[in-house]
Amino acid sequence: MKLRHITAATALVVTLWGCNKDDVGFLSDRLFYRANPFTAAKGRVTTSAPLETDGSTQALTVKLLAVRDKTGAVTDVLSKEYEIPIYKGEILFSDSTLDMLSKKLGTAMYKPFNVNELGGRLEVTPASMFVDTGIYDFDVQASNVKGTIVLNSIARVRINPAVPFQLVRQFASTSVTGQEATFVTQANFAVTVDRVPAGPNKIIVKFVDKNGATFNPKTGQVIPRATLAGTTGLRYSFKQFAPYYAEEITDTALVYQYPDKTPTYPLFVLNNAYLSSYRIPAAFNDLNQNINPEFSVRLYPADQGIPYVKGTWIITNRVNFAAKK
């Protein structure tokens, strides 16, 4: 009799336990972004790490709810769409004509600021050229299997002024004529980049000595530096990065025209870089050695409301350790 009662009681407990569902998942109320403020330069693609989940169950879906400007007023300047140039495909060295290039470039509508739905990564796009600099804060909604939470003023995004160019490398060495094995690095060398916003779409490359005198490319005082025979490290000059128009060689500079409405320039890499290598032969400087300048510059949008590269750019290689003969 007692055994029957114990069995019945056990069955009742099991039945009641089976009617209660497990508590599925976890959603923390302490989600946050490590990059706060999240900082980006106008016109540049910039992304953050995903939202820190504090152990919340994945996958986490995140939605941007509202953005406020420095006055605290809700604004749509970061969330409305603007037309910007885009890449429709990877641009290669072989895309060497304007017709080939046109097949790889286009336009599309983009928001200046996005929150990636999967994981909440923050993204600033080139459409940020249309918005004012400053700090904005924003609200998001986060959801997973557990439920949904609204996080007001979770972080701030700071839009800094545009950075028109990136000087990736500036380097010079000297070497004795007739050999390509021993080189001496020259620290007193600098590359400057100046821009004439209203000028035509041109890039002017100049080489000047320590007294400000300009070396003359037209007479061979500046030449592309040749690749060493039997080596795999190919050397390039800026001409290879600008194949769309003919190179112009003057007595003061190398001049290159570039296409209208390009997102950045150069548009492709060679040997995994944007490096241009030149030589000022020993016969044209007072060191009586070969001077070997190198530079790598990337150009970006620079003007409010214009999300592409424009204007005239002057890249000056300053050989401050030698004089022109």
- Express each pLDDT in 112-152 by its tens digit: 999 999 999 999 999 999 999 999 999 999 999 999 999 99
pTM of this structure? 0.88
Count the neighbouring beta carbons within 10 Å of the beta carbon of residue 107. Answer: 13
pLDDT more than 70, % of the chain: 92
pLDDT of residue 12: 46
Rounded Cα gap, residues 255 and 253, in angstroms: 6
Mean pLDDT of the chain: 93
Degrees, nearest 5: CA angle 95-96-101? 55
Neighbouring C-beta atoms of residue 183, cutoff 10 Å: 15
* pLDDT 10s digits, 24-80: 899 999 999 999 999 999 999 999 999 999 999 999 999 999 999 999 999 999 999
CATH class given for the domain over 38-160: mainly beta
| Block residue for tokens 């046109």 | 102
**How close are the terminal C-alpha atoms of the chain, in Å?**
118
Do 319 and 286 touch, CB atoms closer than 8 A? no
Q: Where are the domains of the chain?
A: 38-160, 165-319
Per-residue model confidence (pLDDT) at position 199 = 97
Residue 9 pLDDT > 80, yes or no? no
